[in-house]
Amino acid sequence: MPRAAFVSIGTAVPERVVTNADLVARMDTSDEWIQQRTGVQERHWVVEGEGVADLAERAARRALEKAGWQPSDVEAIVFATIQSDHVFPGDGCYLQGRLGLPGIPAIDIRNACSGFLYGLSVASAWIQTGQYRRVLLVGAEVQSTGLDVSTRGRDIAVIFGDGAGAACLEATDDPGRGVLNVQLHADGRFTRELSGDAPGAVYHPRVSVKQIEDGSIYPHMEGQKVFKHAIVRMPEVVREALAKAGLQTGDIKLLVPHQANLRIAEAVQRSLELRDDQVFNNIQKYGNTTAASIPLCLEEGLTARGVRRGDLVALCSFGAGFTWASALIRW
């Protein structure tokens, strides 16, 4: 059976940089609090009129160029986002239209911070079964337009950023290359702990003035609960993947954890007893970009950690649902 191999990764973030000092001007917070609790120094936020599909298209075109592919080489699109530009259709179709690929399938995945890995599992399975040989996998997110940037929303607003990452995936018969496995989990007992309540189909109308005023339109996060689950689930799911592949933590050349929060990533590293040179983080520059965080971090991590063909790369995520996931890849 062929495996899915990463041919290239392209990324994009909005030009507008928002520093911690910029946020201090808008809410009761401090650079020291933000850096100490989250590690974030700055993030990129869209400007009016710029959306998820814009970032996704830029990331996708970069990935295609790096792979040496024409858009017409793509046979299917897997698009991970929880922040679609419009209520429907999903952004996968917007991207497909912009790339000029009428007829090919475009599927949307809504698993928040685990979206890229849930998407990788779909793309990888399509490639393994021979349904498609070349798949474009995208993680893209615009969080900033949905944040409460007043003091009321400060625990969440300081964490998130906007961005996109796209990967060209191709079937390979090389036994020393490709996605070895993808592990997926969810626990719906924790839907409320990290969630966005409104607009929602259970409400008539889907959003009311009251919900806008009382802040129900903004994300809800029980930060300490998220923290406690994330630092257990991410190491656990990496160990699960390693055990299935008959590998050890020492075999990992590069681990890219979802960039939820630098303290979470550091706790994951400690739990797995990995050296600093085996892990890469860049949340300091981008904040938490949800489904885009893994490809944004992976692209820089491959260069920073000198990953070569055949090296073992591990990815792991934790996010709303709760959902968590991992992937092991021979690069």
The residues that are catalytic are 113, 258, 288
Minimum Å gap between C-beta 22 and ligand ACO is 13
**Rounded to whole angstroms, what are the CA distances from 216 to 27, 36, 207, 222, 322?**
19, 28, 9, 14, 20
Nearer to ligand ACO, 52 or 260 (CB): 260
Measured at the CA of 170, the angle between CA 320 and CA 73, to 5 degrees, comes to: 105
Q: Which residue is nearest to ligand ACO (CB)?
A: 223
3-state SS assignment for residue 81: coil
Minimum Å gap between C-beta 314 and ligand ACO is 18
CA 241 to chain centroid, in Å, comes to 19
Strand blocks (E) in the chain: 3-12, 17-19, 42-44, 76-80, 106-109, 134-141, 163-172, 178-186, 194-196, 219-221, 252-257, 312-319, 323-330
The pair of three-digit structure tokens given for residue 257, joined into one six-digit string: 């954890």
Location of structure tokens 């996708």 = 60
Minimum Å gap between C-beta 239 and ligand ACO is 19
Residue 172's beta-bridge partner residues? 3
The pair of three-digit structure tokens given for residue 207, joined into one six-digit string: 């959003």
Nearer to ligand ACO, 38 or 144 (CB): 38
Nearer to ligand ACO, 126 or 318 (CB): 318
Minimum Å gap between C-beta 153 and ligand ACO is 9
Q: What is the CA radius of gyration of the chain?
A: 19
Q: How far apart are CA 70 and CA 186, in angstroms?
A: 36
Nearer to ligand ACO, 78 or 264 (CB): 264
Residues in contact with ligand ACO by CB under 6 A are 29, 33-34, 37-38, 113, 154-155, 158-159, 194, 221, 223-224, 226-227, 230, 260-261, 263-264, 288, 318-319
**Rounded to whole angstroms, what are the CA distances from 205 to 85, 199, 208, 274?**
20, 9, 7, 50
Q: Identify the CA nearest to 92 among candidates 108, 76, 74, 112.
A: 108
Nearer to ligand ACO, 178 or 219 (CB): 219
Nearer to ligand ACO, 5 or 23 (CB): 23
Q: How far apart are CA 40 and CA 282, in angstroms?
A: 9
Minimum Å gap between C-beta 165 and ligand ACO is 15
Minimum Å gap between C-beta 137 and ligand ACO is 19
